[in-house]
Amino acid sequence: MASALLLENIHASGQQLLGRHQIDVATQSKALAGDALLAAVRDHDLLGIRSATHLGAEHFANAQRLLTVGCFCIGTSQVDLGAAAHAGIPVFNAPFSNTRSVAELVIGQTIMLMRRIPEKSRAAHQGQWQKTAKGSFEIRGKTMAVIGYGNIGAQVGILAEAMGMRVVFYDVRPRLSIGGAVPMHSLEDALAAADVVTLHVPATPQTRNLLNAKALAAMRPGSILLNASRGTVVDIDTLAAMLDSGHIAGAAIDVFPEEPRSNTDPFVTPLQGKPNVILTPHVGGSTEEAQENIGVEVATKLANFLETGATIGAVNLPQIQPNPLDSPARVLNIHYNRPGTLSHLNQALAEIGANIEAQQLQTEGDIGYVITDISLVPPAGWADTLMQHEAFIRSRVIVNS
């Protein structure tokens, strides 16, 4: 029986689905690091994580047993995807399951900031009655700039338009606008056009400090900023200074450059204690509905890879959706994309008298993945002998039961 370890309070829906596929599932509420994480990688076939567990090259170098990793979240920046690929380990995530949850939070926070609710709420808790319309605005008729017009950004734009906002967007990739959203030619143009700026970009070297001092200065005086994407995207110190100066009238920040590994660890940011600032602990996708959907989506991908070799949805390997297994056995081979590699595999099959009944091959960069259905079950240890070829990364046999 295959063994799975799910970390960081992954929703029970994931555990239940894997259990229905006869996978032995263990869970832990916290993220792992150090020797504990090395042991988890060494001792399990499947590993499920969220955003606080970080898997680097040193972990995949110690992953002879590990078959696949599931990121039960949108992002995969916490995983060294190249090292995983070169260890023959597909990484799966859930790019769509919490889209609505993040979008709803952004719209809700936009309304709260435009009405200056955070500081009014804080004052009321302290016994002060601040009943005034000064500085309090409706979002209807205002302009929102969506920076990063992917799945979440586009959904935010749809909801914003439904609330009566004008939407502009900027993305480094060409994107078709939805509804009345207007594409902008540059980041600076988008920032200067908006009363509200919301960020929905991945963590990459190109997006690190995307909103630096220059970009933050390009925002309209009195505008507000929301970041529910990645913590490295905003220069937090400069943002704090611009909130103090009043150039930026409010902010809602859900992600931070450094985040606690658990709920018991301390959290410190220069944004603490500032008026009209909403700080949330990376909960953009943390609704019961989203977490249940993520559990099902990622667990389904993990189980499908384990049982059929399917890599549809993998973020770091060529993607293949194989046909149902009607042959006695299926050989999965992840290899370096070099001339003659497939011929060597087929020769090895011929040497054991196996006829190839179906074969699917995809390549991506320097990695190839081939699924071969054959007419017999290979002898014990045969897949291990394939690894003597320098181009083979990982070979596995699935027997049709």
How large a percentage of the chain has pLDDT more than 70? 100
H or E stretch at 245: helix 236-245
Q: Inform me whether the pLDDT recorded for 28 exceeds 90.
A: yes
At residue 33, the pLDDT reads 94
Alpha helices in 95-232 (DSSP H): 99-114, 117-125, 151-162, 187-192, 213-218
pLDDT digits (tens, 9 = 90+) for 297-343: 999 999 999 999 999 999 999 999 999 999 999 999 999 999 999 99
Same domain, 109 and 83: no
Handedness of CA 236, 242, 245, 251 (dihedral sign): negative
CATH number for the domain spanning 339: value is 3.30.70.260
Closest alpha carbon to 144 in 99, 186, 114, 185: 114
Same domain, 88 and 107: no
pTM: 0.80
Mean pLDDT of 175-201: 97
Same domain, 104 and 239: yes
Q: Inform me whether the pLDDT recorded for 261 exceeds 90.
A: no
Residues 6+ apart with CB under 8 A from 322: 308, 309, 310, 330, 358, 360, 371, 373
Same domain, 80 and 213: no
Q: How far apart are CA 165 and CA 181, in angstroms?
A: 10
- One DSSP character per residue, 329-351 reads EEEEEEEE--TTHHHHHHHHHHH
Q: How far apart are CA 43 and CA 272, in angstroms?
A: 41
At residue 6, the pLDDT reads 98
Same domain, 355 and 264: no
Q: Quickly state the pLDDT bin for 62 (edges 50, 70, 90).
A: confident
Query: Average per-residue pLDDT in the chain?
Result: 96
Q: How far apart are CA 213 and CA 355, in angstroms?
A: 64
Same domain, 333 and 395: yes
Q: What distances in angstroms separate CA 102 from CA 119, 151, 201, 396, one per listed residue?
A: 23, 11, 13, 38
Mean pLDDT of 209-213: 97
Q: What distances in angstroms separate CA 132 from CA 44, 115, 136, 252, 394, one per listed residue?
A: 59, 10, 8, 22, 66
At residue 51, the pLDDT reads 87
Chain centroid, CA 277 distance in Å: 26
Number of structural domains found in the chain: 3
Same domain, 268 and 309: no
Same domain, 50 and 110: no
How large a percentage of the chain has pLDDT more than 90? 93
Q: How far apart are CA 348 and CA 379, in angstroms?
A: 12
Q: Are 311 and 305 in contact (CB under 8 A)?
A: yes
At residue 74, the pLDDT reads 84
Q: Inform me whether the pLDDT recorded for 280 exceeds 90.
A: yes
Lowest mean pLDDT among 27-31, 192-196, 216-220, 332-336: 27-31
Same domain, 164 and 244: yes
Handedness of CA 267, 201, 34, 299 (dihedral sign): positive
pLDDT digits (tens, 9 = 90+) for 99-148: 999 999 999 999 999 999 999 999 999 999 999 999 999 999 999 999 99
Same domain, 363 and 301: no
Q: Inform me whether the pLDDT recorded for 197 exceeds 90.
A: yes
| Residues catalogued as catalytic | 230, 259, 282
Same domain, 260 and 349: no
**Among candidate residues 261, 279, 297, the one where a domain is terminated:** 279
3-state helix, strand, coil in the chain (%, to 5): 30, 20, 45
Same domain, 257 and 366: no
Q: Which residue has the higher pLDDT, 98 or 243?
A: 243
CATH number for the domain spanning 105: value is 3.40.50.720
User: Residue 13's domain spans which residues?
Assistant: 1-93+287-317
